[in-house]
Copies of this chain bind each other. A is one copy, B any other.
Amino acid sequence: MVFIPPPHDQNGTAASSSKDISHWVDYQIRIRYAETDQMGVVYYSNYLIWFEIGRSEYCRKQGFSYAEMEAQTESFLAVAEVSCRYHAPAHYDELVKIRTSIASLKKRALRFQYQILNKQNGILIATGSTTHVILNKNGSPKTLPEKYALLLRNPLSKNTGPRRHPWERRPDDPII
């Protein structure tokens, strides 16, 4: 089914409020034929798969592998809630930029937020968020191991430029 841009706030998304604790990690994918439906656009559930890719790459950029965390500490980031707004359609073979950020991070829960953009023309395709709780192998809530909490909080893993702390804003930094 197709998607259309619903009326939304001026800056296109509520995902980049100043309260964000984190930066954005970008990752690029190319849209698969399998991801389209008979409307000729990407089927709406596939965006949640892209969100998951964004989470994986966010972890990698922060210095650890989500796969390893799951295997070694038996800690699972279970999805408790998801929301997604579809702003513009996406098509087969287009390059898409998945932007991922952490919106909140607590001992037993965290929230990721996402922006999906068309890589070629910069158009915002979708925005969304996922709320997670940390579970052990048996499905009971647990605390996120400190090692990974620290890594996720690390503000220095920005894509470009020298490593800085978040409070070291430069005049030319984008206003967010």
Interface set of A (CB-CB < 8 Å, partner B) = 1-4, 6, 30, 32-34, 36-41, 43-46, 48-49, 52-53, 56, 65-67, 76-86, 89, 91-93, 131, 133, 135, 139, 141
- Tallying the copies of this chain within the complex gives 4
Q: Are A44 and B79 in contact (CB under 8 A)?
A: yes
In the assembled complex, the CB of A137 is this many whole angstroms from the nearest CB of chain B, namely 9
Question: Contacts of A45 on B, CB cut-off 8 Å?
Answer: 34, 45-46, 48-49, 52
Instruction: Provide the bound-state CA to CA distance between A9 and B80, in Å.
Output: 15
**Residue in contact with A48 in the complex, picked from B48, B53, B67, B133, CB distance below 8 Å:** B48
Instruction: Provide the bound-state CA to CA distance between A16 and B77, in Å.
Output: 29
Instruction: Provide the bound-state CA to CA distance between A56 and B30, in Å.
Output: 10
Most B-side CB within 10 Å, residue of A36, A43, A77, A84: A43
Q: Which residue of B lies closest to A6 (CB)?
A: B80
Question: Contacts of A84 on B, CB cut-off 8 Å?
Answer: 81-83
Contacts A48-B48, A53-B32; is A38 near B92 (CB within 8 Å)?
yes
Question: Contacts of A34 on B, CB cut-off 8 Å?
Answer: 37, 43, 45, 49, 52
Q: Which residue of B lies closest to A76 (CB)?
A: B2
